[in-house]
């Protein structure tokens, strides 16, 4: 499913639930620490997906430890992103020589909680969403905006190590399955991160998926 919104240079793997028999490296178990069973299975399965994706690039399996703010630490020369929500786990990876950064996010295909949109959407974004809702009411556009912004943050953070709030990027969703994001937050002096991300999105009756990438999706 997720492959349909990714460039050809990106390898991905997904699970619609937790993978039986998936295991963690000792370092990963230590990093996870004491937690509930649901969180342990989620953490394990998304790393199982990531190792499958790395294998598709011809790379060996390796421990994938959480780093700053929980962002996964990928093997040298690799960029990637993980995502999970109820009933779904996925990971996408690429060689840094071909793609500078990427972010993926999955969300349940249902509306945001009442009042949440005001906290994640800029005024111009809310106007665009209202038009999309009128013309294409079968998509939960508010949740899709949240999904796209999460994907943008996951692509932004590895380049900057800086937090990006919901007001730090303006995202324009298009009904053709694409979106455009412009960074509004102050840019660090070096190394210069992109000011623009391009993305693709997908919706079915259960899930919303988004991928943000730089260079632009082709």
CATH of the domain at 16: 3.90.470.20
What average pLDDT is seen over the chain?
Answer: 94
Alpha helices in the chain (DSSP H): 26-32, 37-56, 117-120, 123-135, 141-160
Concatenated DSSP letters of 111-146 = PPPTT-HHHH--HHHHHHHHHHHHH-TTS-HHHHHH
- Of 78, 100, 122, the one marking the end of a domain is 100
pLDDT of residue 190: 67
CA-based nearest residue to 169, from 131, 122, 218: 122
Same domain, 200 and 185: yes
Same domain, 16 and 61: yes
Q: How many domains does the chain have?
A: 2
CATH of the domain at 175: 3.90.470
* Conformational region of residue 166, where left means phi above 0, alpha means psi within -120 to 50, and beta covers everything else: alpha
Residues 72, 92: contact at Cβ < 8 Å? no
Name residue, tokens 């000792």: 26
pLDDT band at 35; cut points 50, 70, 90: very high
pLDDT of residue 187: 83
CA torsion sign for 90, 144, 71, 98 is positive
Domain of 74 in residue numbering reads as 2-100
Same domain, 109 and 195: yes
| pTM score | 0.94
Report how far residue 169's alpha carbon sits from residue 164's, in angstroms, rounded to the nearest whole number: 8
Digit-coded pLDDT (tens) for 124-154? 999 999 999 999 999 999 999 999 999 999 9
Using the predicted structure, report yes or no on whether residue 218 has a pLDDT greater than 60.
Answer: no
Digit-coded pLDDT (tens) for 77-126? 999 999 999 999 999 999 999 999 999 999 999 999 999 999 999 999 99
Same domain, 135 and 209: yes
Report how far residue 70's alpha carbon sits from residue 93's, in angstroms, rounded to the nearest whole number: 17
């Amino acid at each position: 499913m997720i492959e349909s919104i990714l460039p050809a240079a990106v390898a991905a793997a997904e699970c619609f639930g937790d993978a039986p028999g998936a295991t963690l490296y000792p370092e990963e178990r230590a990093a996870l620490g004491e937690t509930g069973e649901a969180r342990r299975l989620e953490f394990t399965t998304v790393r199982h997906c990531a190792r499958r994706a790395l294998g598709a690039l011809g790379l060996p399996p390796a421990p994938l430890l959480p780093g700053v703010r929980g962002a996964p630490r990928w093997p040298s020369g690799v960029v990637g992103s993980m995502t999970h929500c109820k009933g779904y786990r996925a990971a996408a990876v690429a060689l840094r020589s071909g793609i500078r950064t990427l972010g993926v996010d999955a969300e349940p295909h249902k509306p945001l909680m009442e009042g949440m949109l005001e906290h994640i959407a800029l005024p111009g974004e809310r106007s665009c969403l209202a038009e999309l809702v009128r013309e294409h009411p079968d998509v939960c556009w508010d949740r899709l905006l949240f999904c796209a912004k999460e994907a943008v943050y996951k692509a932004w953070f590895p380049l900057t190590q800086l937090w990006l709030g919901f007001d730090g990027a303006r995202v324009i969703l298009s009904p053709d399955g694409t979106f455009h994001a412009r960074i509004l937050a102050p840019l660090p002096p070096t190394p210069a991160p992109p000011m623009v991300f391009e993305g693709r999105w997908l919706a079915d009756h259960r899930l919303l998926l988004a991928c943000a990438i730089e260079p632009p999706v082709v």
